[in-house]
Amino acid sequence: MRADLVFLNGPIITVDPDQPTAEGVAILGNRISRVGDAAMIRDEVGPSTTVIDLGGRALLPGFNDNHTHPMAFGQALTTIDARPAAASTLSAVQGLFRRAAAENGDGAWLIGRGYDDTRLDIQRHPTRFELDAVTGGQPALLVRTCGHLAVANSAALALAGVTRDSPDPSGGQFDRDADGELTGLLRETARTAIERHAPVPTRSEIKDHLRAAGARFLQHGITSVGEAAIRTSDELAAYQELAVDGELPMRVFTMMLIDDTLDAMESLGLRTGFGNEWLRIGPAKLFQDGSGGGRTAAMSVDYHNDPGNRGITIYEQAELNEKFTCAHKAGFQLSAHAIGDRAIAMILDAYETALDAEPRPDHRARIEHCGICTPEILDRMARRGIIAVPQPSFIYELGESYIRNFTEAQLTLAYPGRAWFDRGIVAAGSSDVPVVDCNPLVNLRSAVTRLTLDGQRMGPAQGVTIDEAIQMFTRNGAYASFEEQIKGTITEGKLADLVVLDRDPRAIPAEELPSLQIDLTVSDGQIVFER
């Protein structure tokens, strides 16, 4: 049979070590049917074949964003945009909430996301009193860019029954001023006390959020993502219904939060790998600490600019050991959010306990973020085959706060791409959107250059090559979800998920990578986005 779609006349970046380059690609149905020289591919052209002349543009595998929050991303598109680009001053943030309060009825929750205290003019977190001044008695919540801290106004605190006498929850903190009064700042699990009183999206709304997020992913050439937190049956059902109806915009593997889902999944005999090429169950996951920018990442020493603070751990070591051993024995890949070196070391202890209890050679246990490493951590990861899932764009968008919060010595092994590659540790790239933007071109630049938003270079020795950066967001992403046999490279027989860039990313200075344009996105053999 002749091909349905053919690409010719441009650099083909296959990311396949067995066939790193080619002159053309042919697609039949939803699979790559031929990869080879131009004459071979022209033989695949028939009367109904669509031939795309690349004209020097580059063809790559579809990007794989291995750690995202599509539900939250889609929902964030409908809430108050408090990112620094939209509101860089306290007054601007207040203006957004004032406008939303006027537009919404009394009693409606006002939710904003994206502020960064280190990039606000006041150089601190807003307070509940500053939100009270513009919210008209309506409950309001302002979520920091990292998603690990938030500011609640007085109405939201009152709805939750949180007062100055309320004890801090395990793994969290209600911030108080010098007089013991609540400032409104909620750290880690303290957010849950407030958020459980906010409206929960319906299944139909979740599906709308996923459609909106998916459209953005495809515009960026992202054809596969990891959903980093499934907590409820409605969340999983929303994904399932979209997949069954052929409406799921991107391929998804789901990370199932252990405390919320493991018992139910285990009782049904479900485990990592269940599903198909559109939707499959991925790892069992826990959160162990917070954010580096928000100084809640669990560190082995005090933050040098915040004496006495070593961040927050969610679980004690014995709990981690038990939970991950149970998940491992139930057949799940293991995954944990860990940014600080103390949190990472605790996760490695728990993984080693689980793997020693029931050895599994190809376990592919993951550490999401894996931010502040040490030589010992790298040795342990290499020895045990642990996968790192970093977000290079954190360096660009959040790097200023990291440089402020961590010492130069700590930053030399922060999200250490070069060290991971040199030690044979698989690093799968991701964005953690909506924490930062999902633009893979910014991610590629960050992985190579280590540039921050203000032009500094954070741990510059940890930069990788452009080919390695592309590998992080294609082949390594597929490997991290046990899907390297069906995607991640331009290889005959694999799924036809591809992206066309207007220029070859290897032929321009790395600093200019975000100037590239996504010209075309192909998913499942179909053109799903065209510039």
User: In a 3-state reduction of DSSP, which class is residue 277?
Assistant: coil
Domain match, 45 and 76 both: no
Any domain includes 339: yes
pLDDT confidence of residue 432: 97
Tell me: the pLDDT tens digits for 303-315? 999 999 999 999 9
Average pLDDT on 466-492 reads: 98
Q: What is d(CA 409, CA 372) in angstroms, rounded to the nearest whole number? A: 10
Q: What is d(CA 323, CA 249) in angstroms, rounded to the nearest whole number? A: 33
Q: What is d(CA 459, CA 402) in angstroms, rounded to the nearest whole number? A: 11
Domain match, 412 and 283 both: yes
Domain match, 517 and 501 both: yes
Any domain includes 350: yes
Domain match, 389 and 446 both: yes
Q: What is d(CA 13, CA 488) in angstroms, rounded to the nearest whole number? A: 11
CATH number for the domain including 405? 3.20.20.140
Q: What is d(CA 265, CA 269) in angstroms, rounded to the nearest whole number? A: 6
- Tell me the residue range of the domain where 318 lies: 258-485
Which pLDDT band, with edges at 50, 70 and 90, does 104 fall under?
Answer: confident
Q: Using alpha carbons only, what angle is made at residue 107 by residues 103 and 108, rounded to the nearest 5 degrees?
A: 50
User: What is the overall mean pLDDT for the chain?
Assistant: 96
| Last residue in a domain, options 150, 174, 195 | 195
| Last residue in a domain, options 179, 195, 211 | 195
Domain match, 336 and 187 both: no
User: In a 3-state reduction of DSSP, which class is residue 451?
Assistant: strand
Domain match, 318 and 443 both: yes
The count of structural domains within the chain is: 3
Domain match, 52 and 80 both: no
Domain match, 464 and 424 both: yes
Partner residues linked to 520 by β-bridges: 500, 530
Q: What is d(CA 367, CA 389) in angstroms, rounded to the nearest whole number? A: 6
- Provide the 8-state DSSP code for 312: -
Domain match, 173 and 265 both: no
| Angle in degrees, 0-180, between the axes of helices 440-449 and 393-405, rounded to the nearest 10 | 50
| Last residue in a domain, options 195, 214, 236 | 195
Contact between 321 and 354 (Cβ < 8 Å): yes
Any domain includes 235: no
Tell me: the pLDDT tens digits for 400-447? 999 999 999 999 999 999 999 999 999 999 999 999 999 999 999 999
Residue 121: Cβ-neighbour burial (10 angstroms; 0-12, 13-18, 19+): exposed
Domain match, 47 and 127 both: no
- Which single residue is written with the structure tokens 């998940």? 327
Tell me: the pLDDT tens digits for 157-215? 999 999 999 999 998 999 999 999 999 999 999 998 898 998 889 999 999 999 999 99
Looking from the CA of 435 toward its CB, the CA atoms found within 13 Å total 25
Write down the pTM of the prediction: 0.92
Domain match, 279 and 133 both: no
Domain match, 35 and 160 both: no
